[in-house]
């Protein structure tokens, strides 16, 4: 009798993990475009989306639902488009915050120059531009929608 209960529990746990994994992968959008010589058209579209958001939410009012990243890796000539629900981002930030508290000898804030407490409630920021970085080869655009 005990073996059948533990097998059933193991199966149910595996099924639950598979269901969660399937739900999470359905929520996250990833697109990788190779052989990109000129990333400007991709970034123009991203900037146009951000400008529309700022026109519709001039004071960043409203709640952000998705974090969007647009990355051009010049050395590999790839454009990466990533879309993640804010609730997943916040869950990851919470997990990271717990790890920061646990490992007092390793200060992530000092090591990576990140103000962890200022970004942990990212949905409170509201829709709009978060980060734009550009150097000779690479570009990054991050915003909330």
Q: pLDDT tens across 88-97, in order? A: 888 777 776 6
Residue 60, phi-psi category: left (phi > 0), alpha (psi -120 to 50), beta (remainder): left
Q: Does 139 reside within a domain?
A: yes
Domains of the chain: total: 1
Q: What φ, ψ does residue 95 adopt, rounded to 5°?
A: -60, -40
Q: pLDDT tens, 38-48?
A: 999 999 999 99
Q: Does 97 reside within a domain?
A: yes
List Cβ neighbours of 92 (8 Å cut-off, separation of 6 or more). Answer: none
Q: Does 21 reside within a domain?
A: no
Q: Does 53 reside within a domain?
A: yes
CA-CA-CA-CA torsion for 75, 80, 86, 89, nearest 10 degrees?
-40
Q: Give the closest residue to 50 by CA, choosing from 36, 38, 37, 64.
A: 64
Q: Does 107 reside within a domain?
A: yes
In this predicted structure, the answer to whether residue 8 has a pLDDT above a threshold of 50 is no
């Amino acid at each position: 009798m005990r073996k059948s209960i533990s097998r059933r529990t193991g199966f149910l746990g595996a099924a639950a993990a598979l269901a969660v994994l399937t739900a999470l992968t359905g929520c996250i959008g990833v697109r990788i475009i190779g052989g990109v010589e000129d990333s400007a058209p991709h970034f123009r579209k991203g900037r146009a989306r951000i400008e529309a958001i700022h026109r519709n939410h001039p004071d960043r009012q409203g709640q952000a639902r998705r974090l969007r990243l647009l990355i051009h890796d010049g050395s590999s000539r790839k454009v990466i488009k990533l879309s993640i629900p804010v609730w997943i981002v916040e869950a990851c930030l919470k997990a990271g915050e717990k790890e920061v508290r646990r490992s007092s000898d390793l200060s992530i804030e000092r090591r990576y120059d990140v103000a962890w407490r200022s970004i942990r409630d990212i949905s409170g920021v509201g829709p709009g531009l978060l980060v734009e970085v550009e150097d000779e080869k690479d570009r990054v655009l991050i915003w909330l929608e």
